[in-house]
Amino acid sequence: MKKIRCQKCAKTIKRPQDLITVFFYFRIFFYHETCYEEELQYARFPFTNLIPLNTLLSNIFTVFTFLAALTFLFTDTGGTRLLGLLLLLPALYRLISYLKWERTFRK
């Protein structure tokens, strides 16, 4: 099992159900669930909020953006391919979070 340290308290996250992975400024950070909730209280501006990657809501958001990305990529109506590529980013970060951290942490 990989050792993952919480970004806020710097303690090792021991239980997989406590792990919250967060996308923030093109990096992935790790929090205890309780530390993440505390950190959310200090997020000031909507666009700089910490975005969790491994929650149910995030998974639903990822599926919708991925489907929208495929739609934009394969229906060429002029200039929509760039939007399609941008909409692939949430799925890419979710995949990286799962394959690199969550999957190995649960073993």
CA dist., res. 17 & res. 31, Å (int): 11
Q: How far is the CB of 62 from Zn ion (least distance, A)?
A: 24
User: N- to C-terminal Cα distance for the chain?
Assistant: 6
Contacts of 6 (CB under 8 A, 6+ apart): 12, 13, 30, 31, 32, 35
Cβ density class 29-56: b for 16+ within 10 Å, e for less: bbbbeebbeebeeeeeeeeeebebbbee
The SS3 call for residue 90 is: helix
94 lies in the site for Zn ion, by CB under 5 A = no
Identify which of residues 15 and 107 has a Cβ nearer to Zn ion in the complex. 15
- Rg (the chain; Cα; Å): 16
- Name the residue whose CB lies closest to Zn ion: 6
Q: How far is the CB of 22 from Zn ion (least distance, A)?
A: 12
What is the total count of residues that contact Zn ion (CB under 5 A)?
Answer: 5
- The pair of structure tokens assigned to 26 is 């093109």
| Residues of this chain, 5-44, that bind Zn ion according to CB under 5 A | 6, 8-9, 32, 35
Identify which of residues 43 and 82 has a Cβ nearer to Zn ion in the complex. 43
Identify which of residues 19 and 87 has a Cβ nearer to Zn ion in the complex. 19
Site string for Zn ion, 43-82 (x = CB under 5 A): ----------------------------------------
Binding site for Zn ion (CB under 5 A): 6, 8-9, 32, 35
